[in-house]
Chain A
Amino acid sequence: MIRQGFSLVALTTGLMVASGVWAESGYTMDDPNIAVSYEEDGRYFTEDDVPTFNVTDDGKVDWLTFSGFRRYHSECHVCHGPDGEGSTYAPALKKSALDMDYYDFLDVVTNGRQRVDAADNSVMPAFGTNLNVMCYLDDIYVYLKARGMEAVPRGRPGSKEAKSDAIREAENACMGT
């Protein structure tokens, strides 16, 4: 399992070096918060069991990254801008997903956060009751991480892994369909 993960990392790292994005994010593909350690039923995880993205050398993304692209642009994009790039008033989440701890990220999405004072009128709402967000939290998170590393370019991912049965079952259970 771990071995397979390493080979995946090596491949994607090679890709990243070629497109020269090291400097922009400040992270490398072998960062323990990014590197794939193992795969389980179509989901990818770091050695700390934190969800992460997987992009093959021919640009195929894992299902969650693709699904996160769609859910992000339905739920988050009207404030945070296309492709996690940020807007005139809301931060670029492609950076936040790398800079923030996974569990902090979940906390802010679930419970919201406010920064309101003389200079700021910045409010992140609580999405805790929104199934369209909560059932796809990991999807959105890994998509934004992939964007932060520029492992997927702006726009719609070109090709994707198939949706695994486990992911489909979990989605149906969460959405209540």
Chain B
Amino acid sequence: MKSLKYLTSVLAICSATGALANADLQSQIDNPAQWAIQTGDYENQRYSELAQINADNVGDMQVAWTFSTGVLRGHEGSPLVVGDVMYVHTPFPNTVYALDLTQEGKIIWKYEPKQDPNVIPVMCCDTVNRGVAYADGKIFLHQADTTVVALDANTGEALWSVKNGDPSKGETNTATVMPVKDKVIVGISGGEFGVRGSVTAYNMEDGSLAWRAYSMGPDSDILFDPDTTTHLGQPVGADSGTNTWEGDQWMIGGGTTWGWYSYDAEADLIYYGTGNPSTWNPAQRPGDNRWSMTIMARDPDDGMAKWVYQMTPHDEWDYDGINEMILTDQEIDGAIRPLLTHFDRNGLAYTLDRVTGELILAEKFDPAVNWTTGVDMDPNSETYGRPAVVAAYSTEQNGEDVNSTGICPAALGSKDQQPASYSPKTELFYVPTNHVCMDYEPFRVSYTAGQPYVGATLAMYPAPDSHGGMGNFIAWDNIAGEIKWSIPEQFSVWSGALATAGDVVFYGTLEGYLKAVSADTGEELYRFKTPSGIIGNVMTYEQAGKQYVAVLSGVGGWAGIGLAAGLTNPNDGLGAVGGYSALSDYTALGGQLTVFTLPD
């Protein structure tokens, strides 16, 4: 019943406001045979109506065909399918292939940009790229060196390109872009290099700049209106992007924007999160460091912020706030509410009203989380909306040159960018998570443009007194604030999930398994070991009446740094047997697309 309501409300939104979204892209998204946007839809639900492969028959699934990308680095993101063409991207050098699905993946065109390899070491944590975007007959690629290029989807010819940042200052890119209306919304990476984060809109037609909104700085830079932009229902006031920083520190303040973006056509707002403030040494940047670690809701036409919410004021643990914002319409206390659900690195899952920015719920989505006792939910409190920090795990209170131990989660968060999915049938979120804790010692560092600006030493290990593994795959109820079921995993789950109308949820593992589980119970229904660890996102499409499921393999990214050699464990002997094993015992580098289907 609820799912029916949901469907009708979505249809109503689409028909009423189709002209507001990018009309072409919205119509491509509405066709479930395609996967026209990295996030599945503008709402970031990663849900498909396809049900040919379902809970009853997924166990029979077989590999249909495979494709080697020719690159041996971490493969994040997923292919797109528009019409009979699949678009596959790679990590640096960011090659794009157009494959003909009517001819078993024959290459129609290949685009390989020329990039200065000096961008490679400036990318924190491997040379990943989270994929291309499609709209109006164009493929949009955002390269590692921050070049945004529009390609003719039919020929691969470059139509325009624009440089979004300067890699010599540490500005790079790993994210996809989001086409909205006549614009392309573009983020930036480099929080570990003292980059000041920003979101930029380029005009889709010619690549000219429409607007840029920084994460911190004067009101004119951050595109805030002191009177109408709100934080937890209150106007932010003047200079909110500078008055919680000391001196000019906001100029190298971080708050980068390398996550996923979502869009609500009815509210006409885009949503994204900002990353950690630079440096990782909190003593060097006193204050709340606004607007790092913040959920932003902006007008796509002019970039003006409607509402914001800072989740982790004055970060002390590198808990970037960039994870995806998943938009749903669900019933709370008898009324259908426009919701935004966000699983933050800091281990808290937030449910907000996406139109007003009202905070509805904030609960831990991993019981291991210990740095906070929870968020103050009393609107009349002076600390409304703030997490209560546990002193023992405060790297600020413990001070510089002190090793704070046993902090959960680790810097890679209870969940990183690996996107969750949502099924309107079960009203559950399916969340790939990390189950890792850390020791963190901050110390003084000096800033040099284009050089790392970190200032902390970290040691990471599996969450103590748990199942010994470093990950869980969970089903989350965003209204009750509860875990419905949880599947322990030996390694962090670094793959984006996919839920389908076939009552199946798919995800990949770092050992390289593609797994299918029951959307209701989490029971495993299928597994297949692909050639390399999976940090890509599972997608699905239909071709000539047949449903396919596809995922990129290619271990790497943040996970490939910590886990390749196995994590250190200072709690030797506590029985966390599985966690000691190194990922290198299970998988090696790779770069391959594996496409699955049911046998004829």
Contact = CB atoms under 8 A, between A and B. Distances in A.
A binds B: yes
B448 A121 contact: no
Interface centre among B127, B459, B570 (most CB of A within 10 A): B459
A74 B455 contact: yes
B218 interface: no
Nearest to A114: B117
A131 B118 contact: no
Interface stretch (A24-32, A43-51, A76-84): A76-84
Interface string A66-89: 000110011101110111011111
A69 B124 contact: no
A22 B567 CA distance: 23
Contacts of B568: 82-83, 154-155
A74 B120 contact: no
Nearest to B74: A88
A88 B564 contact: yes
Nearest to A175: B446
Interface in B445-487: 445-446, 448, 451-452, 454-460
A130 B450 CA distance: 9
Which label, helix, strand, loop or mixed, suits the secondary structure of the A interface?
mixed
A143 to B, nearest CB: 11
A14 interface: no
Interface stretch (B21-29, B98-106, B328-336, B555-563): B555-563
A112 B93 CA distance: 20
A74 B454 contact: yes
A82 B117 contact: no
Given A130-B452, A132-B445, A88 B457 contact: no
Nearest to A73: B457
B439 interface: yes
Nearest to A75: B452
Nearest to B561: A87
Nearest to B451: A130
Nearest to A112: B121
Contacts of B280: 74
B92 interface: yes
A17 interface: no
Contacts of B127: 89, 121
Contact of A132 (B452, B458, B566): B452
Interface in B60-76: 71-74
A24 B25 CA distance: 56
Contacts of B72: 119
A70 B457 contact: yes
Contacts of A75: 452, 454
Contacts of B74: 88-89
A102 interface: no
B95 to A, nearest CB: 11
A173 to B, nearest CB: 14
Contacts of A124: 121
B315 interface: no
A8 B526 CA distance: 58
Interface in A138-177: 154-156, 175-176
Contacts of B117: 114, 116, 121, 123
A132 B448 CA distance: 9
Given A74-B445, A82-B567, A88-B560, A156 B120 contact: no
A157 B92 CA distance: 36
A89 B563 CA distance: 12
A132 B446 contact: yes
Contacts of B458: 73, 77
Contacts of B126: 87-89
A73 B561 CA distance: 12
B452 A69 contact: no
Interface in B108-128: 117-118, 120-122, 124-127
Given A79-B121, A79-B561, A155-B570, A121 B71 contact: yes
A171 B565 CA distance: 32
B562 A82 contact: yes
Interface string B564-583: 11111010000000000000
B366 interface: no
A121 B93 contact: yes
A69 B403 CA distance: 13
Contacts of B561: 77-79, 81-82, 87-88
A92 interface: yes
Interface in B415-433: none
A130 B71 CA distance: 30
A119 B460 CA distance: 31
Contact of A78 (B125, B403, B443): B125
Given A78-B452, A86-B565, A70 B441 contact: yes
Contacts of A86: 564-565
B324 interface: no
Nearest to B554: A88
Contacts of A131: 446, 448
B448 A78 contact: no
Contacts of B454: 74-75, 78, 132
A92 B565 contact: yes
A82 B459 contact: yes
Interface string B362-399: 00000000000000000000000000000000000000
A80 to B, nearest CB: 8
Contacts of A105: none
A121 B450 CA distance: 20
B206 to A, nearest CB: 31
A77 B125 CA distance: 9
Given A83-B565, A123-B118, 20 more contacts: A69-B457, A70-B441, A74-B445, A74-B452, A74-B456, A77-B561, A78-B125, A78-B454, A82-B459, A87-B561, A87-B564, A87-B565, A89-B589, A92-B565, A121-B91, A121-B93, A121-B127, A123-B121, A125-B122, A156-B457
Closest 6 CB pairs of A and B: A85-B565, A88-B560, A125-B121, A73-B457, A130-B451, A123-B120
Interface of B: 71-74, 91-93, 117-118, 120-122, 124-127, 192, 280, 403, 439, 441, 443, 445-446, 448, 451-452, 454-460, 555-556, 560-562, 564-568, 570, 589
28 contacts: A70-B443, A70-B457, A74-B280, A74-B443, A74-B445, A74-B452, A74-B456, A78-B452, A78-B454, A81-B564, A81-B565, A82-B567, A85-B564, A87-B561, A87-B564, A88-B74, A88-B126, A88-B560, A88-B561, A112-B121, A114-B117, A116-B117, A121-B93, A121-B120, A132-B452, A155-B459, A155-B570, A156-B457
